[in-house]
Structure 1
Amino acid sequence: MHLFYASVVLCVLCACHMTTSTCDELLSSEDAEFCKGKLKVIYPDLVVDKCMIVPQRIREKISKEWGPPQIQLPSADEKKKYTLLMVDPDAPSRQKPSRAYWRHWLLVDIKGEALQRGDISAVELSAYTRPTPPQGTGFHRYQFLIFEQPEGQSLSLSPQENSSRGQNDVISGPLQSFPVSLL
């Protein structure tokens, strides 16, 4: 499989009790290097345009109040289509990620011109589910990945992939129908 285009934002949430401060950590250099491109993930009171740790006051809103974020990629080619994937590589915990790359959202056939404006309407293969890491499991990384779809191809999930959102291999899992080359 070839990854034709990747723009990634890493959004880190903490699964600690909202009033504790034990989750006050810094991003690792590995996590910071993960981000590429100019993807913007926009929630009502938060714009994520780089790898970051979500501020304490915002975590509960993302997990309990807000729906899917607005997604914007100003550099998208207006004539192409894209796929958006949101995953948690740390499910159920970063120490034991037995359900790694838990699929929180999967949209396909996003038109480039709409992605530029942040006004995406697309085919939803996996409905958005809020980040709600289990209590006491520490930090979770939430990754938003954008893939450029090859012309004339559309993505679909196999019955097995559709029945489980966990334990996905991002490259050989739901995106296996794309010929790929990592940028």
Structure 2
Amino acid sequence: MADNQITRAFSLIENDESKILQMTIGQHENIKPGTRLGRKEAQDPPKLSFDGANRDTKYVIVSLDIDAPFPSLGILGPILHWIQSDVTVGHSSVLEFDAPFVANWIGPAPPPGSAPHRYIFFLYEQPDSFDLKDHAPPQGKNLSNCNRMRYDLDSWVEVAGLGPLVAFNYYVCN
């Protein structure tokens, strides 16, 4: 399985800090890439914003755990944690959505004894042709765990016809 999207995302913020997706999780605001958070603190999806977002564009958010089940043994990873489409830009560049999810949010859950995992967040441009019904489970059901393991983001980005990666960030959680 290729990991071109993951490699591209880390390079994106390494070369241009303006491409860092702003995240707030609980009391933690303006989370910098690689910030360590406790598992209990990170169970709710982050509030995201991006100063470079265009108000006339829709976006897709994707989140993965790239270290599952153990950073040294990633046989199940990456694991999909969230896909949200139809994201728009609100006041103060806050990313907002009221559409159903493509893949419901699941919070961090590294197994006991594991080293901390990296939870990564991508922001892509959503094409006008994107249809939620083509990608989400029927009737708004949650995505099953078996459909989350060994998630091939490169393939999904291609199938969904997503536009360019716009912003990225990640935190580390135990």
TM over 0.5, shorter chain: yes
Contact 2:24 2:30 in 1 (8 A): yes
Moved over 6 A (4+): none
Going from structure 1 to structure 2, the CA distance change for 1:53 and 1:179 (only over 3 Å counts) comes to closer
In the alignment, what sits opposite 1:132?
A: 109
3-state SS in 2 of match to 1:126: coil
Q: Deviations over 1:66-88 (max 9, x none)?
A: 42211111211101100001100
Identity %: 23
The amino acid of 1:61's aligned partner reads K
Larger % of helix: which?
Answer: 2
In the alignment, what sits opposite 2:161?
A: 178
Distance (whole Å) between structure 1 residues aligned to residue 114 and residue 95 of structure 2:
32
Distance (whole Å) between structure 1 residues aligned to residue 73 and residue 15 of structure 2:
20
Structure 1 counterpart of 2:135, from 157, 167, 170: 157
2:10 pairs with 1:33: no
Q: Deviations over 1:137-183 (max 9, x none)?
A: 21211100000012232354377xx5411111111136522166678
Q: Which has the larger radius of gyration?
A: 1
2:65 pairs with 1:88: yes
In the alignment, what sits opposite 2:140?
A: none
Give me the CA root mean square deviation. 3.2
TM-score with structure 2 setting the length: 0.70
2:93 pairs with 1:110: no
The amino acid of 1:62's aligned partner reads E
Contact 1:94 1:137 in 2 (8 A): yes
Contact 2:124 2:164 in 1 (8 A): no
TM-score with structure 1 setting the length: 0.67
State the 1:34 CA deviation: 8.7
**Unaligned ranges ≥5, structure 2:** 138-142, 167-174
